[in-house]
Structure 1
Amino acid sequence: MLRGALASAPLLVAVLAERPGAGVPAALGAMLAGINDRPGSRRSSVSRLGVPALAGASGMLSGSCLADVAGPGRSLVLVPLVFGVLGLVAGAVSSTGPVASACGTQVLVAAVIGAGMPLPEPGPVRSALFLAGAGWLLLLRSVLPSPGRRRGTGPYRLDGEREAVAAVYEAVARLLAATGGPGAGAARTALSGALDRAQDALNGPRLRRRASSSAERRLHARFAAAFPLAEAATALAWAGVPPPPRVADGPRRMARAVRADGACGALPAPARTGAGLRALDEALLGAAALFDRPPGMPLEAHRTPRHVPAARRALGAAGREYGLRVAVCCVASTLVSQWLHHAHWYWLPATAVFLVKPDLGPLLSRVLCRAAGTVAGAAVFAVLCLLPAGQAGWVGLIALCGALLPVATRHFAVQTAVVTVLVLGLVRLAGEPPATWARVVESLLACATVLLVGHLPLPGRRGHTVRAALDTAVAAAQRYLGHVLDVPGDQAARGALRRDAYRSLAAARAAIDLSAAELPAVARHTAGSEGVARAVERLVDTTTACAVQLVHRPAPLPAPHAELLAARLSELDRARTAAGAAAPASVV
């Protein structure tokens, strides 16, 4: 919230310089960057905020050039055609990951605003101002210390990374405590999520390489030491035999040591009555030796496994399906807005771009939330217009909206209300005519357009996003299984493949949950997908248990494990066949 409030500083400077129009692109860049400003590490924010900002700046420049070519007045051919092509490309790219999705949104929104908002600055200057506003927020994200941080815990720029790694050890402890009980499945899923967040937190550029290299290497090594712990804890949870309660105390002490950047101290007495407990004990001893290493001793290089998204998805069926719908929405909303010849015609396609994004929730839900949020925001702004306020008052209102934006992102309707007030304030500062209720009309038209296009029977089959995510998860599980059976002693590669398998499974489950929440006309195309995800999860858990057996016992894989592994593979084949039978139009 503090960063959101301070993000209005470029706008304040422009107002003090009597150039409020120049501050509008900077405020837009800061606003869009603020939507992407989520909890996490500083290093991950560089790509999460910076890369979409670069895309938005290029969109602002291309939109301004389009406005120069199209000229004033209506353009029922050129502008919709350009936005359609841009939407097709940006939509396809958006299907490859969250950062790419933010890039696709910003390039489209900025292009629409650059083409429609009348600002005195030329296109290159608008683009630079947009990038400066986003860069200012990124600078604040990089240099401001985290609130409530502990003193004497090392460089504050590593607070997010340390907290993410500590959460992994705590998740291991919770899984060990829940083993044998009804909460073991949820604890295993939570551990996988904690590993994903820690991996994202550490996978970014070093902010000050020389000053922080020692602390960063130590943190990477401690994260790598958590992989064998996670593997052993997963194997124990799969077996369903509760370990002694004292064993969960070791990971808890390591979590505290990560936060304090110190040693973990003495560990509880080991328990080595089976392969899983032996693996856990060896993982604890290996981590303890790393934690208690003297600060001056050199650390071995530990490379955090990176999850590389499948870039070819942009050209695959999922990318084509999403890109086509974004393109149709852009063309339809632009045609309607150009035909109406409204002064703020760019609002309609810009709103449609936000609404068509599938990662904001089910289609009907986000449309209703957008409508309700826009009406509420417009009503609040209409009341504020009755109060006497100069330019300083509008800047203060925008700063307040920027501060509320991080909290508002927790609910799409609240976020829409805050963004509506912020955008109307920027329009007021830019010198455009008041358009409070026009904003409501444009948003409702965009809601109707997106709701119609989202359910149109476009060429091709539906549900490609879910099928692509499931195919990725199945392929990752098969790679993991093949490596465990062929090279069981390669722990580093096994850990990376296990991470890829669980992470791909989590992405598939998220896609399935989103599709299941859609209206029946859309949800029916992915019927049976949940059964495939359950079969993949059982296969990956069984593979992890087999890996522990192969590494921590001299004999080959026990016959019961081999039989269960074969049963899991058969179960996966049956689930995929059943999913295809349940939804003939979308064979998984």
Structure 2
Amino acid sequence: MVRGALAGGPLLVAAMVAGRTSLGVVAAIAAMLAGINDRPGSRRTSVRRIGVPALAGAAGLLAGTYAGLHLGAVALTLVLTALGLVAGGVSAVGPVASAAGTQVLVGGALGAGMPLPGPGWQSVPAFLAGAGWLLLLRLVLPTPASLAGDLRLDFRFDGERAAVAGVYEAVAALLDAAGTGDAVARRAALTAALDHAQDALAGPRLRRPVPTAAERRLHAQYAAALPLGEAATALAWAEQAVPARAAEGPRRLAAAVRGNRPAGPLPAPSRTDPALRALDDALLHAADAFDRGGATDLHVRKRSPRSAARAVLGPGGREYGLRAGLCFGVSAAVAQALHHGHWYGSHQHWYWLPATAVFLVKPDLGPLVSRVLCRAAGTVVGALLFAALAAVLPRPEGLVVLVAVCGALVPVAARHFAAQTTVVTVLVLALVMAGGEPAASAGRIGETLLACAIVLVVGHLPVPGRRGAGVRAGVEAADAAARAYLTHVLSESDDRATRWTLRREAYRTLAEARAALARAAAELPALARHSAGVDEVAAVLERLVDTTTACAVHLDDAGRLTPRHTERLAALRDELAERRGRPVRAYDS
């Protein structure tokens, strides 16, 4: 919230003082978009999470500006449609790529529909300056948690420390839930904590080309949590309660990570079965890692350009790109037709309509109808609220204060799409008025409702190929990762580093597939039916990966599997082959 308050408002004031208010509006919009991408985590990951979409947005702004200046309405619509096709396909790669795709399209719409005084290229450095200013605030300002804690701690790594500590706390929670009905949810929470820590440690180094001692210690602490998570998962798979003493060690390790101090003495669990022995060995390894702090590369998730290209060009990317391109192009065409037909009255810019469609057509942001309803409600409330505020606030001082307040509220409002839309609507309307345009609350409401209608129609149109391709592509990736993990474990290889890396990839791809399934299941029946039955395959894959983990732990201890392990693997193999309609040999060991 502090970063949001210090972002758009000061940029707008500086531009007003310099007599370049219009460029200040562009910079403040970029800071707002960067604030939407500003998520909890480490500072190093914020460089990619904020910086990559900002660069994409600047490229879209440049393309839109020159296309708007030199092309007619039809050619411009075709260019924007093509931009939507590409940006939609790229959005299928992952969250950062999705944010980049969003900002490319928003930048393209702004550049084409919001002409600025002076050369068109000037808006690009203003956009980059706005996003760069918020990124700088993210890197240099300490968090409240770091200020409230030990002042001797290096606050630059507080995001990494919190993420790694969260892994140990999730391990403890899973151990507490072993043998209860909460074990499945706690195992999913452990996966989420490991994903978050993996991301927190994987960003670029901000100051030195080689890792510092603090970084090496955090990497070692994260790596030490992997065998702990493996043992805890095996204990949960056994469906037997474990002594409360078993969870005390991970909790003490979590406290040690947060305080950046040695682990100290850890209570040893009993060693009555293979999983408990694995837990005890993992605790001993963790205590040693906390003392030595050796570096490791296990936190890195490597994604090849080939896998990214498959995501863009595959069925999921093609479906995503087609939806985004159609919605963006149709919205731009309708907006220009209304603009040239003088339906807009005193409002001269048409960028709001396609920019609104961009946020609505993103399937990775939530169910389509829910997004549309939230956007419509949020825009109406935000526009009416701004109209009331604009009637009493002094200008331009009151508008600057309103921009700062809304900037501070963006991180809180991001918890719900309707609330975020309300805050962003007030913020954008304040920026538009500060830039010299008249109040446009009524126009914004009409344009948003029109964009909602366009996206609802296009979102439910039949498209070439099979619907739900993105969901099936996620399950296919989880299927391949689970198969690779199972093959490695049953090969009885001694390479535990590779095993833990494969285990992480298996659980991570499963979590991504589960998230896509949850979004698809919340769609209207017309869309949700296209992914029917896929959730059952994901559930079997989840049980298969859990069983594979239990097998790995038992093989380490005994060197051979029990009949319970082999029977469970065979049953899951048969069930998975039946649900997928594949030959059983695909999962034969």
TM beyond 0.5: yes
Separation (CA, whole Å) in 1 of partners of 2:2 and 2:295: 39
Separation (CA, whole Å) in 2 of partners of 1:300 and 1:189: 27
Separation (CA, whole Å) in 1 of partners of 2:219 and 2:562: 35
2:298–2:497 CA contact under 8 A, matched in 1: no
Deviation at 1:270, TM superposition (A): 3.5
Counting only pairs closer than 5 Å after superposition, residues 198-213 of structure 1 correspond to structure 2 as: 198-209=197-208, 213=212
- Matching residue of 2:585: none
Runs of at least 4 residues off by over 3 Å: 300-303
Residue 306 (1) aligns with residue 310 (2) = no
Separation (CA, whole Å) in 1 of partners of 2:104 and 2:398: 30
Residue 569 (1) aligns with residue 573 (2) = yes
Deviation at 1:79, TM superposition (A): 1.2
1:535–1:575 CA contact under 8 A, matched in 2: no
Deviation at 1:307, TM superposition (A): 4.9
Separation (CA, whole Å) in 2 of partners of 1:322 and 1:38: 24
Separation (CA, whole Å) in 1 of partners of 2:365 and 2:355: 15
Separation (CA, whole Å) in 2 of partners of 1:39 and 1:269: 34
- Matching residue of 1:317: 315
Q: Alpha-carbon deviations, 1:168-223, whole Å to 9, x = none?
A: 00110111111111111111111111000000111101122279700000000000
- Matching residue of 1:166: 165
Deviation at 1:561, TM superposition (A): 1.2
- Matching residue of 1:29: 30
Counting only pairs closer than 5 Å after superposition, residues 544-583 of structure 1 correspond to structure 2 as: 544-553=549-558, 555-577=559-581
- Aligned residue-pair number: 569
2:471 counterpart (462, 466, 474): 466
Separation (CA, whole Å) in 2 of partners of 1:480 and 1:173: 24
Residue 5 (1) aligns with residue 5 (2) = yes
Separation (CA, whole Å) in 2 of partners of 1:300 and 1:102: 32
- Matching residue of 2:260: 261
User: How has the CA–CA distance of structure 1 residues 210 and 91 changed in structure 2, closer, same or farther, with 3 Å as cutoff?
Assistant: closer
Deviation at 1:300, TM superposition (A): 4.5
Residue 284 (1) aligns with residue 283 (2) = yes
Greater mean alpha carbon deviation, residues 115-124 or residues 498-507? 115-124
2:219–2:295 CA contact under 8 A, matched in 1: no
Q: Alpha-carbon deviations, 1:338-374, whole Å to 9, x = none?
A: 1111422111111101110112211111101111111
Q: 2:267 is paired with a residue of what secondary structure?
A: coil
Q: 1:292 is paired with a residue of what secondary structure?
A: helix
Separation (CA, whole Å) in 1 of partners of 2:210 and 2:301: 24
Q: 1:77 is paired with a residue of what secondary structure?
A: helix
Q: 1:62 is paired with a residue of what secondary structure?
A: helix
| One-letter amino acid matched to 2:373 | L
Identical columns (%): 60
- Matching residue of 2:338: 340
- Matching residue of 1:351: 356
| One-letter amino acid matched to 1:63 | G
Residue 240 (1) aligns with residue 244 (2) = no
2:217–2:295 CA contact under 8 A, matched in 1: no
1:153–1:260 CA contact under 8 A, matched in 2: no
1:512–1:530 CA contact under 8 A, matched in 2: yes
Separation (CA, whole Å) in 2 of partners of 1:382 and 1:527: 45
2:165–2:258 CA contact under 8 A, matched in 1: yes
| One-letter amino acid matched to 2:303 | V
Separation (CA, whole Å) in 2 of partners of 1:515 and 1:559: 38
Q: TM-score, normalising length from structure 1?
A: 0.95
- Matching residue of 2:85: 88
Residue 492 (1) aligns with residue 464 (2) = no
1:143 counterpart (137, 140, 143): 140
1:154–1:215 CA contact under 8 A, matched in 2: no
Separation (CA, whole Å) in 2 of partners of 1:486 and 1:212: 34
Deviation at 1:426, TM superposition (A): 1.3
Separation (CA, whole Å) in 1 of partners of 2:296 and 2:388: 60
Could you tell me which runs of 5 or more consecutive residues in structure 2 were left unpaired when the two chains were aligned.
Answer: 583-589
Q: TM-score, normalising length from structure 2?
A: 0.94
- Matching residue of 2:524: 519
Q: 2:133 is paired with a residue of what secondary structure?
A: helix
| One-letter amino acid matched to 2:83 | L
1:238–1:541 CA contact under 8 A, matched in 2: yes
Separation (CA, whole Å) in 1 of partners of 2:282 and 2:117: 63
Q: 2:300 is paired with a residue of what secondary structure?
A: coil
1:390 counterpart (389, 395, 400): 395
| One-letter amino acid matched to 2:542 | E
